[in-house]
Structure 1
């Protein structure tokens, strides 16, 4: 994660069902679904003003850390999150082994 995002807090916006970070009034976020044991990440997006800044990668990394600390298992349905984990295989430890594409990570 780029250093300029390290101090930016992650918010779990339960009313919008998304994890988000805010940078200069703009948002990068991941839509999620949740059960008692799992968190499914469905879609990652950043406001156009944040394009190319690394904000999307930062919200992914912060969200993965949140899931790790929660003790829940991850279902990475979002292609961006899936690709992030493929690039950073140390995060595979939080992916639910029952996830259909687990062996492709």
Structure 2
């Protein structure tokens, strides 16, 4: 059975985090009045292929949706995830839509 991926929003470090086997994967964030900025994601090589990056992205984007925030995906991983998963594209901030090749 696959190991459950538990993503935690760590407000002290401004990161969504997953810790497995003593290592931590994370997606940094900053909150603006109307947006969630996602500047950087780190997934250790030991986590690759286990869905950790996708879990981080879904949690961060879900947080944005729940709180009525638009997303500014500066991080190439987050931008790529959104491009591949159309169900999250409505969250992209107008200033970032062209960067992702999305209609205005």
Q: Structure 2: 5+ residue runs without aligned partners?
A: none
CA 88–25 in structure 1, closer or farther in 2 if over 3 Å, else same:
same
Structure 1 SS opposite 2:65: helix
**TM norm structure 2:** 0.82
Q: Are 2:5 and 2:55, in contact at CA under 8 Å, matched by a contact in 1?
A: no
Shift of 1:35: 0.9
Q: Give 1:75's aligned residue.
A: 72
Give the alignment of 1:28-43 within 5 angstroms: 28-43=25-40
Aligned residues: 102
Please identify runs of 4+ aligned residues in structure 1 that moved more than 6 A: none
Q: Structure 1: 5+ residue runs without aligned partners?
A: none
Give the alignment of 1:40-55 within 5 angstroms: 40-55=37-52
**TM norm structure 1:** 0.81
